[in-house]
C-alpha cells in the first residue's frame, strides 16, 4: 500500500426526520412519501488517503460488518468505475452514529465518500451527477450530497431546501437495529396518509405541531418493545418522535441546557446524546478548505 496524500478527515453528519408521511406504495416496491430532513452536527468520522495502487481499502470499528457490503466501499468503487480513476484509496471509519437507528449514517457515509473522493481523485463530477450515482445505492444519499436540510418527496430523493430554526435534539437509541426494508415491507404499515401541501410549507417556512408525526412509529413500537419503552420514558419530559424507521427516538428543545438536563436522566441501558440542528453539512465546508495541490 503506497500512499499519495496526507489523510483528510471529514465528519459525515446524521439526520432526523421531523415528520414522515407515507402516501402509498409504488409499482417498483418503493413508497411515495413526504418528509422533512434535519441535518445534525453529530456524525461519523471518516479519513481518506489516496493510494497509488488500484485498491479500495477500508478499516473501521464495527463488528460483524463485511467491507464488501459497506456503502463506503460500494460508493468508492462506483465513483472509481464511473470516472475511470486509476488510483485507489485507504479509508478509515470511526463509527459514532448508532447502526439501524434511522439517523442516516450509512447514507451519509456513502455521500461523504463520493464527495471527498470526487475532490481527492480530481473527478470533478457535478453535484447532480454525484446525486445520480448516490441514488443508485440509496434513496437518502442525495440529501447528504446536497448537504442541506430539506423537504423530501418521491422516495425521499426530490429535495427542496428548507432552513429550519435552530433547535437542539436529545436523541435516545435502545440496543435494537431496525432495517428500513423490514418496516416498509410490513403489511400493517400505514400507507395512505393524506398529502401535506408542501408548497405552503416551502413558502411559509413554518411547521405546525400537528405535522410532527411519523407513520412508521406505531408499527415500530409494536414490533420492538424497547423502542416503545424509550417513547414512554421520554413522554415524561417532552414530546418524542421516531426518526426514519427507527430505532432512535428524539425530542426537540429551544436551548442546549434543556436537552442536556434530560440527557443526564437517561437510563444507562440506552445510548443517548444531544445534537444541534444544522442547515448545512460540514462536509462541503471541510472540503472547500482543502488545498489539493499543496
The alpha carbon torsion through 223, 227, 232, 236 (nearest 10 deg) reads -160
Model confidence pLDDT, tens digit, residues 74-96 = 999 999 999 999 999 999 999 99
In the predicted model, what is the mean pLDDT of the chain? 93
Average pLDDT for 113-124: 97
What domains are defined for the chain? 1-294 (3.30.230.10)
Residues 117 and 76 sit within 8 Å (Cβ to Cβ): yes
CA count, 13 A, side-chain hemisphere, 231: 17
Residue 126: count other Cβ atoms within 10 Å of its Cβ.
9
pLDDT of residue 294: 41
Closest to 147 in 3D by CA, of 42, 72, 38, 250: 38
Q: For residue 136, what is its C-alpha cell? A: 443508485
Residue 6: count other Cβ atoms within 10 Å of its Cβ.
10
Catalytic residue flag (residue 140): yes
Could you identify the residue written with the cell 495502487?
Answer: 53
In the set 140, 157, 167, 215, the catalytic residue is 140
Average pLDDT for 168-195: 94
Average pLDDT for 174-198: 91
> Is the pTM above the cut of 0.85?
yes
Q: What percent of the chain is modeled with pLDDT above 90? A: 81
Rounded to whole angstroms, the Cα distance separating 215 from 191 reads: 8
pLDDT of residue 234: 98
In the set 15, 80, 95, 167, the catalytic residue is 15
Res. 205 pLDDT band, cuts 50 70 90? low
Residue 121: count other Cβ atoms within 10 Å of its Cβ.
22
C-alpha of 54 from chain center: 29
Element (H, E) at 263: helix 256-263
Average pLDDT for 200-220: 78
Model confidence pLDDT, tens digit, residues 48-61 = 999 988 999 999 98
Average pLDDT for 222-244: 97
Catalytic residue flag (residue 197): no
Give how far Cα 131 sits from Cα of 82, 141, 143, 262, 272, Å.
13, 7, 8, 38, 31
φ/ψ of 41, rounded to 5, equals: -85, 5
Rounded to whole angstroms, the Cα distance separating 252 from 194 reads: 25
Q: For residue 40, what is its C-alpha cell? A: 445534525
pLDDT of residue 204: 55
Q: For residue 104, what is its C-alpha cell? A: 442516516
Model confidence pLDDT, tens digit, residues 134-169 = 999 999 999 999 999 999 999 888 999 999 999 999
Amino acid at each position: 500500500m503506497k500512499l499519495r496524500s496526507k489523510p483528510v478527515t471529514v465528519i459525515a453528519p446524521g439526520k432526523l426526520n421531523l415528520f414522515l408521511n407515507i402516501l402509498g406504495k409504488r409499482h417498483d416496491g418503493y413508497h411515495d412519501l413526504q418528509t422533512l430532513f434535519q441535518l445534525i452536527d453529530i456524525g461519523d468520522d471518516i479519513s481518506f488517503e489516496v493510494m497509488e495502487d488500484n485498491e479500495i481499502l477500508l478499516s473501521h470499528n464495527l463488528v460483524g460488518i463485511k467491507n464488501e457490503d459497506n456503502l463506503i466501499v460500494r460508493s468508492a468503487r462506483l465513483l472509481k468505475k464511473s470516472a475511470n480513476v486509476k488510483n485507489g484509496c485507504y479509508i478509515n471509519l470511526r463509527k459514532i452514529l448508532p447502526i439501524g437507528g434511522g439517523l442516516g449514517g450509512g447514507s451519509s457515509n456513502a455521500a461523504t465518500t463520493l464527495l471527498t473522493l470526487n475532490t481527492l481523485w480530481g473527478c470533478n463530477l457535478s453535484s447532480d451527477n454525484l446525486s445520480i450515482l448516490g441514488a443508485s445505492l440509496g434513496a437518502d444519499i442525495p440529501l447528504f450530497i446536497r448537504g442541506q436540510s430539506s423537504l423530501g418527496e418521491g422516495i425521499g430523493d426530490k429535495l427542496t431546501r428548507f432552513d429550519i430554526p435552530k433547535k437542539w435534539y436529545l436523541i435516545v437509541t435502545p440496543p435494537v437495529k431496525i432495517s428500513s426494508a423490514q418496516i416498509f415491507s410490513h403489511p400493517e404499515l400505514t400507507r395512505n396518509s393524506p398529502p401535506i401541501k408542501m408548497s405552503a410549507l416551502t413558502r411559509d417556512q413554518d411547521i405546525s405541531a400537528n405535522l410532527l408525526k411519523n407513520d412508521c412509529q406505531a408499527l415500530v413500537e409494536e414490533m420492538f418493545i424497547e423502542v416503545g419503552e424509550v417513547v414512554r420514558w421520554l413522554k415524561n419530559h417532552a414530546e418524542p418522535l421516531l426518526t426514519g424507521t427507527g430505532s432512535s427516538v428524539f425530542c426537540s428543545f429551544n436551548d442546549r441546557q434543556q436537552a442536556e438536563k434530560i440527557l443526564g436522566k437517561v437510563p444507562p441501558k440506552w445510548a443517548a446524546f444531544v445534537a444541534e440542528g444544522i442547515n448545512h453539512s460540514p462536509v462541503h465546508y471541510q472540503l472547500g478548505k482543502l488545498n489539493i495541490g499543496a
